[in-house]
Amino acid sequence: MKKIPLYILSISGTMAQNQNYAILLGEVNGRRRLPIIIGMAEAQAIAVVLENITPKRPLTHDLFKNTLEAFDIELKEVIISDLIDGTFYALLICERNGEILEIDSRASDALALAVRFNCPIHTYDFILDTAGISLQEPNEIQVTEEKEKSPGTKRKNPDDFSNYPLKELRKILDKLVENENYEKAALVRDEINRRKQLNS
C-alpha cells in the first residue's frame, strides 16, 4: 500500500458534537484533506504543542513521551493505518536498539505524540480515497448562498443529504470545506462515497 505524508492544518470545534473537535490533516504536495473527530482532551494535548505552550506539569502525552525516552525508545513515525466503521486506527512506529516496534493507538493519541516527537505522519492511499476531501481549484468553487437556499435544495433535516443530486453534493462539499465546516463536509463526503458504492 502506498503511504501518503500528511501534516496538521488546523483544529476546530464541531457544531453538532459538543466537547468534540475536528483535526484537519493535509496531504503533503496534494489537495486532499483528512478530517478526524477527536475529543476535547486530545485536542488540547495537540494544541498546547502547536501553540508552544509549556504546562507547569507534564500532561499525559508528555509523560508517555518522557517514559519512552527514558527507555531509549524513539517514535519514528505515526501511521493512520485503517478506517473501520467510521473509526480511525493508528500505529506508532518506534525504534529501540535498532529494533522496530509497532504499537496500536487511537489516531488522536498518535497525533498528540507525533507533534511532541516531531515525527512524520502518514496514511495510506485507500484511506484518503475513502475518507479524504479533495479541494478543487478556487475558480471551480462557485456555490452561492442563493443557490443553496433555492426551493429545490431545501430539506427539513439540514444533515440529510440523501436526496441531493450528486453534482450538487460535490458543490456543497467544496463550499463546506471552503468555510472550514469539516464535520458536515464529512457527512457529504460519506453520502458521495455511498452513491459511488451503489453504482460500482
The ranges assigned to domains in the chain are 3-131, 136-199
What is the structure's pLDDT at 110? 97
Quick check: 171 and 142 in contact, CB under 8 A?
yes
The band of 121, judged by pLDDT with boundaries at 50, 70 and 90, is very high
What is the structure's pLDDT at 149? 41
Pairing of strands 74-84, 121-124: parallel
Mean pLDDT calculated for residue range 109-118: 96
What is the structure's pLDDT at 118? 95
The band of 180, judged by pLDDT with boundaries at 50, 70 and 90, is low
CA 178, 179, 181, 185 torsion-angle sign: negative
Percent residues over pLDDT 90 in the chain: 45
What is the structure's pLDDT at 186? 75
Percent residues over pLDDT 70 in the chain: 80
The band of 25, judged by pLDDT with boundaries at 50, 70 and 90, is very high
The band of 56, judged by pLDDT with boundaries at 50, 70 and 90, is confident
Instruction: Return the residue matching grid coordinates 466503521.
Output: 85
Q: Decide which of 93 and 146 is more confident.
A: 93
CATH architecture, range 3-131: Roll (3.10)
The band of 105, judged by pLDDT with boundaries at 50, 70 and 90, is very high
pTM: 0.69
Q: Decide which of 159 and 94 is more confident.
A: 94
